[in-house]
Amino acid sequence: MLLRTDSAVVGVESKLTETLRVHRPVVWRAPYHDPRMKTLLPGGWSDVFAASLDGSWQPKYLGVEQLVKHALAVRSRFADEELRLVYVWWEPTNADELPEVTGHRSELDELRDRLGDSSPRLHALTYSDLFAEWAASGPGAFPDHLDQLAERYAISV
């Protein structure tokens, strides 16, 4: 999804259960290997892209390739604007018991470290964090829907 505000362009990547299984690295097609592609991304994003292309960093649970592709898309079209990429994913209520979840969290922390303040700026949060932010936006902001969403997705595996 792509959103535009008065101050920013925001891309959104959403995951449900994909982070609970081992991610098979994507084989990058030939156009992505063109040296000009890396020039579209600054700083940390360029480094993450290069590491994914050469296979030197291939997270086990985090689909970093999709995030790089989204970063490339927003940078190539809106390079002169404030850019953000929101990554939101679901975790079960027993998340701390699952090595897949803790592995995904660790890889996401590493991605944040690698990216630093690069544009687009990465904002990552779970759906439960997102629902809590929405709830804090005030009573009546999301009538009934928020409680229904939180109830539906508050399950363990």
In a domain, 135, yes or no: no
In a domain, 55, yes or no: yes
pLDDT at 143: 62
**What value does the mean pLDDT take over residues 139-145?**
67
Token pair in block for residue 51: 């590491």
pLDDT at 141: 63
Question: Which residue carries 């630093």 as its tokens?
Answer: 116
Q: Higher-confidence residue: 5 or 124?
A: 124
Q: Angle at which helices 145-153 and 127-136 pack, to 10 degrees?
A: 160
- The answer to whether residue 61 scores a pLDDT higher than 80 is yes
- The answer to whether residue 20 scores a pLDDT higher than 90 is yes
pLDDT digits (tens, 9 = 90+) for 106-126: 999 999 999 999 999 999 999
Domain tally, the chain:
1
pLDDT-based confidence at 142, cuts 50/70/90?
low
**What value does the mean pLDDT take over residues 39-50?**
94
The residues, ordered by sequence, that sit 6+ positions from 12 with a Cβ below 8 Å of its Cβ are 1, 2, 3, 85, 86, 88
pLDDT at 12: 95
Range of 90's domain? 2-126
pTM: 0.91
In a domain, 148, yes or no: no
Strand-strand pairing, 2-4 and 121-126: unpaired
In a domain, 35, yes or no: yes
In a domain, 92, yes or no: yes
In a domain, 139, yes or no: no
Q: What is the mean pLDDT of the chain?
A: 92
Helix (H) or strand (E) holding 71: helix 64-78
pLDDT digits (tens, 9 = 90+) for 22-44: 999 889 999 999 988 888 999 99
